[in-house]
Every structure is written in C-alpha cells, then in structure tokens.
Amino acid sequence: MKIIDTHSHIYLEEFDQDRLEVMERAQAAGVEKIMLPAIDMKTLPRLLAMCKEYPQSCFPMLGLHPTELDENYAYTLSQMKDFLREGHPFLAIGEVGLDFYWDETFRKEQLAAFDTQIQWSLEYGLPLIIHARSAHCELVNTLYNYKDEPLCGIFHCFSGTPEERDELLDFPGFYLGIGGVLTYKKSTLPQVIENVPLDRIVVETDSPYLAPVPHRGKRNESAYVYDTVCALAKIKGVDAEQVALITTDNAERLFWGCDFNEKRPKQH
C-alpha cells in the first residue's frame, strides 16, 4: 500500500525525542510521502531541515497560518516571499486561510494575508493548502474572486455541513482533506462525505493533532493516516487498497503539478 499523508507537522518539537521511529512507523504503515505545512517563520528552519534529512519522504510547503498571524504579518509575508524567490522547492502554499473560531482580532489582516498568499499560489503555480475554521462564508467569498483563475488545492481538515461540502466542491481544482475526525464516534463527517467521489478526496493526519481512533487523545503521527484510509474504505464500501490508490493518485497529481491548469481532476 502507498499512502500520502498530505498534512503533517512532524517537524515540530513534539517529535524531537523519537522522530526517527515516527518515520519508520510511517514507512511500515505504507506512508511513502509526507507533506509538511509551514505555520510561521520561527519553525520554518526545522521544517526545511527535516525535508533535507528525508528527501524521498518529506516535502515542504510554505505559508503563514491564520492563527500564527500578528500585527507584523506583512513583514513575515515579505520574509516568506524571499524564500519563494530564492527558489526553495516548496510544493504548495500552506497552510494558509482564515480562522475566526477563537479570535477575530486580526480579521482584516487574516483576509489580507490570505489574499496575498492566494496570489503567490497563482504566481508560482503551486496548490493552496487551506485552513478554515468558523470562516466558511469568508473563505468561499474570497475564493470566488478567483473563480476564473486556475486555482487548485486542499480544504484541509474538512468537517463541514452538506451545504458547505457542496460549495467547496464547486471549486473544481480542490480536494477535501480528510483526517482523524472521520473516525470519531459523534462525527457527522461519514454521512457528509459518503457520496463524495474518492477522486475529490485526499487523506491527512494534521499530526500532532486530531489522532484517529484507536489513537484518539494521543499524539497523532503520520502512520495513523492508515486508520483514516480504513475508515474511508468502510464508508465507501471498497477495500483500503483502493482508497490508498485513488487518494495517492490525487495527491501526486496535485503536488507534482500535472493538472494545475486542467481545472477538473481526472475521473476514475
């Protein structure tokens, strides 16, 4: 089995004690590639170091996370833009987006930073990894301004309503990023994604957060993406191998650039 964990923060210090074992367990579970989303400038050197250490397995993405943004966001963005200009091999802009769940202090700034980073995605031909929490309408309105552009990417950690699902899937170059929430007892996500074709879904962990059952409540790690693949297989009534095959193919096309300009993902 070949799985891509499309969202994993295993470069953070939560993994400093046993990073090698975490990587070995991921490999043993069939996770052959792990996409590392940036959150800020402070942790970017760790992220890049890990990609350098595991060049066959770990791949860097660059972006300012909406909850890591402060009054100096414009300066942070200019530093990040320098990294892009210098030609580091980032495979996506992320994670970026809007989060009004805890705090709306920087509402205006979040919207401005998101917009700037959408433009990077277009300028550099890179997919967007989008985090949105309590911000569905603002997200859709922002993306709608780019409806005629060849944007593509992932709605990371999707866990919305059927209406939200339909509005997001209306953006043809985008996939729903599905993780541990799918396995939670009270989650409505299984019903919400039951009829979403597998060719619009990628899998992720969001390590160290949101570990799937049976690891719920513990530190998440990339190997556990296998549990999400199995849960997805059960919901879809197919075997796990099939889920791995299609979601991996989706991620490969998205990150390795084959369909950036071809708005509709290939049908299976």
Residue 177 or residue 265: which is nearer to Zn ion going by CB? 177
Q: Which of residues 67-126 bind Zn ion (CB under 5 A)?
A: 95
List of residues 6+ apart from 170 with CB closer than 8 A = none
Both tokens of 247, joined, read 């979601």
- Contact between 95 and 156 under an 8 Å Cβ cutoff? The reply is yes
Considering only the stretches 11-19, 158-166, 202-210, 237-245, report the one whose residues sit in contact with Zn ion under the rule CB under 5 A.
202-210
Residue 159 or residue 235: which is nearer to Zn ion going by CB? 159
Least distance CB 37 / Zn ion (angstroms): 5
β partners of residue 58: 34
- Contact between 3 and 29 under an 8 Å Cβ cutoff? The reply is yes
Residue 227 or residue 240: which is nearer to Zn ion going by CB? 227
Task: Tell me the C-alpha distance between 97 and 155, whole Å.
Answer: 10
Question: 72-77 long-range contacts, Cβ below 8 Å, gap at least 24?
Answer: 73/106, 73/109, 73/112, 73/113, 76/40, 76/41, 77/113, 77/116, 77/117
φ/ψ (deg, to 5) at 38: -80, 160
Least distance CB 154 / Zn ion (angstroms): 11
Q: Which of residues 204-233 bind Zn ion (CB under 5 A)?
A: 206
Least distance CB 95 / Zn ion (angstroms): 5
Considering only the stretches 44-52, 109-117, 193-201, 203-211, report the one whose residues sit in contact with Zn ion under the rule CB under 5 A.
203-211
Binding residue count for Zn ion, defined by CB under 5 A: 2
Residue 132 or residue 152: which is nearer to Zn ion going by CB? 132
Residue 180 or residue 236: which is nearer to Zn ion going by CB? 180
Considering only the stretches 159-167, 201-209, 231-239, 250-258, report the one whose residues sit in contact with Zn ion under the rule CB under 5 A.
201-209
Least distance CB 133 / Zn ion (angstroms): 11
Task: Tell me the C-alpha distance between 58 and 36, whole Å.
Answer: 7
Task: Tell me the C-alpha distance between 59 and 64, whole Å.
Answer: 17
Cα end-to-end span (Å), the chain: 18
Least distance CB 64 / Zn ion (angstroms): 12
- Residues near Zn ion (CB under 5 A): 95, 206
